[in-house]
């Protein structure tokens, strides 16, 4: 079997994505590439995944989120809850593996 042939379970990334990429290469040939610019009224801040409050942590307990100016959280998370988040990730992966 070739690398683009699939067996068993098929997912979009394996079966549909290669065809979409090839199609878009042709469809966008004459279109100039434009870099994405964040709108002026949008800000990006690092938040705590569990509470949605601002965070200074740079591990898996936080992520960057986008807000309209004036709507971003203003309070910082006060306690370390990374153990809860990491345990949640483990629980979700365990549940997913039980499905397949």
Domain-embedded: residue 69: yes
Sequence length of the chain is: 100
Average pLDDT of 56-82?
89
pLDDT grade for 16, boundaries at 50, 70 and 90: confident
pLDDT grade for 3, boundaries at 50, 70 and 90: low
Domain-embedded: residue 79: yes
Domain-embedded: residue 82: yes
Question: Is 36's pLDDT higher than 60?
Answer: yes
Domain-embedded: residue 61: yes
Residue range of the domain that includes 47: 42-99
What is d(CA 46, CA 52) in angstroms, rounded to the nearest whole number? 9
Domain-embedded: residue 21: no
Between the alpha carbon of residue 90 and those of residues 11, 46, 58, 93, 97, the distances in Å are: 23, 23, 19, 5, 11
Domain-embedded: residue 65: yes
The number of distinct structural domains making up the chain is 1
Question: Is 88's pLDDT higher than 70?
Answer: no
Q: Which residues contact 37 (CB under 8 A, 6 or more apart)?
A: none
């Amino acid at each position: 079997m070739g690398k683009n042939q699939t067996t068993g379970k098929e997912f979009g990334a394996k079966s549909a994505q290669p065809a979409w990429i090839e199609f878009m290469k042709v469809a966008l040939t004459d279109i100039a590439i434009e870099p994405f610019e964040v709108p002026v009224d949008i800000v990006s801040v690092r938040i705590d995944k569990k509470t949605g409050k601002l965070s200074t942590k740079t591990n898996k307990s936080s992520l960057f989120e986008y807000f309209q100016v004036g709507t971003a959280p203003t309070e910082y998370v006060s306690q370390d809850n990374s153990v809860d988040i990491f345990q949640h990730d483990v629980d979700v992966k365990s549940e997913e593996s039980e499905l397949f």
